[in-house]
Chains A and B, each alone.
Chain A
Amino acid sequence: MQATVTAQHSAVSAEDDRALAAVFSAYTVSATCWLLFATAVGLLLAFKFGAPDFWAAKYLTFGRLRPIHTNDTFYGWASIGLVGLAYYVAARSSGTKLYSIKLAWIGLALFNLAAVAGTIALELGYNWGDLEYREWPWPIRLVFLAALLVTGWNLIGTVARRTTEDIYLSNWYTVCGVLWTCVIAIVATLPWYQHGLGQVAISGFYMHNAVGMWFTPLALGVFYYAIPKILSRPIYSYALGVFAFWTNLLFYPLLGGHHFLFSPLPWWLQTTAIVFSVAMLVPVWGGSANYLLTMRGRYRDMTHSYPLMFIFVAVIGYLFGSTQGTVEAFRSMQAIWHLTNFTVGHSHLTMYGFVTFAVWGGIYALLPLATHKSPGRLGIALHFWMALVGSFIYVIALSIGGTIQGLDWLHQRPFIQSVTDMAPYWVWRGAGGLLMFLSHIVFAWNVWRMTSGQTGNAGSPILARTEGAAA
């Protein structure tokens, strides 16, 4: 039925495939530029902990650069990279062409306009009231919202023209991720209830949902397409994927309050946030088990499939990062870790170990299929190992250091004692960050080879088919 209805819209030509590849490439290149910029700023910030007077001129102060690092990582790198992947997955899994190539380009322009304008505003000192991850002045956030609306319209239009009977699971995650984020962005922008404790509640709602209802569903949606493609094997349990989708929607929006435990927010709101932080183990463990069981018996393939290794690390990052988030939500744990560098380690375990590795895995798995160009074997290996080792050093250093920092505060030692105790861990943070940044330069080189440059010698991301493939 669906196939009949959409047949006249969905005839796909080589021209359509080239246009889709151009869109996917442009989003990837744009995201990569933001990754390089945002993490260069992050690296500078990391070393400012050890040498706070270094480059301390007005435009290079920590207060201006920190939100530039976080916002450009969120809205430049991860958002644009994931939307490019979502477009490719939507068109391919629906067996159709992209609803509108023009809308995709308009969306890309809007995402970049928002990120450039936001960066300039923050650099000039126009910070919208220290509200984490929404420091851009509100008119700029409306530009980002417009980019989301354009993206949502285009993805829905593409899925509506599908030639398949079902909407494939990946598209549930990616389309709804965009729609949920539109709602979240509107709630976070409207001013009427954002004063006093209302502002605190909305801040908790936005800062966590920007991760859990935007980056998470898009990355998980990419997994549900890329893992079966790489392994030529279906996902272990489709029903479990659908169940994880609905439980993520049920539990995630209610847990942002765990960022404000012991605050004047109502105690019941904090308790509810803690309970649903535990409930989030359902979609996290269920989803992770689904991916890992899909890979069962094929782990040796990782030795000659870096796209699979990137995705495997991302799945482990999702599993451990999210489980760590649940543990952090308990009042007894927050009493130690709240406001310490442990939280920074956690956010990097999730946004880097999970989301960023997922974007890389998706790009390495799918971009060569779109452009018919590959990265070099050495380049992809260098990228993987430098990013993995760098992020390990970073997260472990801040986790240990942040715990010591929190215990210092808990035992009411002089504040300067906690600064002194953290000093060596900040050095390790910078060392890990340097490796991570170097890996991004290599990634940029790999992206160049997969899009415009000379193709490399890495093999096809699709592995040979084994048992359990399409019946």
Chain B
Amino acid sequence: MHHAFLGPFWGNVAIIAIAGAITIGCFVAMFWMIFRPGEKDPHHAKYEILRKDR
């Protein structure tokens, strides 16, 4: 798809590569946390909210 303001080829590649690498890294981290939710400490804030709320 061509556009008059397409800009330099390697500039576009750099933007897509950097933004894409960040995105893929975040996807990996997201799935990691879905499969390993953690937070077993009973004093963690997520348990405290059920007890300490007035």
Contact = CB atoms under 8 A, between A and B. Distances in A.
B40 to A, nearest CB: 9
A205 to B, nearest CB: 17
A198 to B, nearest CB: 15
Contacts of A267: 3, 5-7, 12
A289 B5 contact: no
A50 to B, nearest CB: 37
Nearest to A96: B54
A266 B45 contact: no
B46 A268 contact: no
Given A95-B52, A232-B50, A331-B1, 20 more contacts: A92-B53, A93-B53, A164-B52, A165-B45, A168-B49, A169-B46, A225-B49, A237-B33, A238-B39, A240-B30, A264-B5, A267-B6, A272-B15, A279-B23, A279-B26, A281-B27, A286-B33, A469-B50, A470-B50, A471-B42
A282 B15 contact: no
Nearest to A91: B54
A293 B1 CA distance: 41
Interface string B1-44: 10101110001100110011011001101100110011100101
Interface of A: 12, 17, 92-93, 95, 163-166, 168-169, 225, 228-229, 232-240, 243-244, 247, 250, 262, 264-268, 271-272, 275-276, 278-279, 281-282, 285-286, 289-290, 293, 331, 469-471
Contacts of B16: 271, 275
9 contacts: A95-B54, A229-B53, A237-B33, A237-B34, A237-B37, A239-B39, A267-B3, A278-B23, A286-B34
B18 to A, nearest CB: 9
A276 B23 CA distance: 8
Contact of B30 (A164, A272, A286): A286
Please provide the 4 A-B residue pairs with the shortest distance between their CB atoms, ordered closest to farther. Answer: A237-B37, A471-B42, A166-B45, A470-B50
A239 B38 contact: yes
A283 to B, nearest CB: 8
Nearest to B40: A471
A12 B3 contact: no
Contact of B46 (A228, A247, A265, A293): A228
Interface of A is mostly: helix
Nearest to A266: B5
A164 B51 CA distance: 11
Contacts of A289: 34
A389 to B, nearest CB: 32
A239 B47 contact: no
Nearest to B39: A238
Nearest to A331: B1
Contacts of A234: 39, 44, 46-47, 49-50
A163 B6 CA distance: 55
Nearest to B20: A275
B19 A275 contact: yes
Contact of B49 (A93, A265, A279, A286): A93
Contact of A275 (B23, B39, B42, B44): B23
Contacts of A279: 19, 22-23, 26
Nearest to B44: A238
A470 B47 contact: yes
Contacts of B33: 237, 239-240, 243, 286
B51 to A, nearest CB: 5
Contacts of A166: 45, 48
A293 B3 CA distance: 44
A235 B44 CA distance: 11
A238 B43 CA distance: 13
Contacts of B49: 93, 168, 225, 228, 234
Nearest to A235: B46
Contacts of B3: 262, 267
Contacts of A233: 50
Contacts of B54: 12, 17, 92, 95
A268 B23 contact: no
Residue among B23, B37, B49 with max Cβ neighbours from chain A (10 Å) = B49
Contacts of A92: 53-54
A229 B52 CA distance: 12
A272 B7 CA distance: 13
A183 to B, nearest CB: 22
